[in-house]
Amino acid sequence: MTRRLGSGALVIATHNPGKLKEIAALLEPYGVKCISAGSLGLPEPAETGTTFAQNALLKARAAAEASGLAALADDSGLSVAALDGRPGVYTADWAERQWFEGPPGRDWYMAMGKVEGMLAEKGANVDRAAAFHCVLALAWPDGEHAIYEGRCDGSLTWPPRGTMGFGYDPVFVPVGSTLTFAEISPEQKHAISHRADAFARLVAEQFG
């Protein structure tokens, strides 16, 4: 049987306020107090894995060892069918500005434009199917861990639409909807997103 998390403090291995807010909202009903790795001053480890699971576990273990608390990390990304699954684990890297593109940081509009440009090169009839993936890694300071995987299928649209969400949300339309992730409320997104799918698996095992 997988080790139970229980209620109490949990370090969320992220420095992204948007991601922390989403995860905290999903865990709030179970009495879990979420603390970000950023607020604890923990460094962000290099994501050297070649899969979402490897990167998520790497981040969770680093946060658990540094804080002495259980830690949860996710590695998520966008895979585009016509681009052979790219950007995949390099989803965030595609948003990193180069020295000639402006100040250091992530430019998500630039990243969305890069994906769209690559699709446009393939012609008007290109397959625009895409999927968001999320892998959650739960780790304890003693090294024990658990992995949960989630997915949300959809298609890409252009130009970007909506002001909610983050990352590639403004160009992703989930299956069964005509609205992008950035056009629906956080509550609606939480119900159908890749992260929600992964969390449903975590909750079933940890709190079921």
Question: What percent helix, strand, coil does the chain show, rounded to 5?
Answer: 40, 25, 40
Asked about 75 being catalytic, the answer comes back as: yes
Task: Sheet containing 129-139: give its strands across.
Answer: 32-36, 8-12, 71-80, 129-139, 145-156, 172-174
Cβ neighbors of 207 (< 8 A, separation 6 or more) are 5, 30
Q: What angle do CA 147, 9, 23 make, to 5 degrees?
A: 55
- Which residue out of 75, 84, 93, 127 is catalytically annotated? 75
Rg (CA), the chain: 17
Q: Are 63 and 11 in contact (CB under 8 A)?
A: yes
One-letter identity of residue 164: M
Active site residues: 75
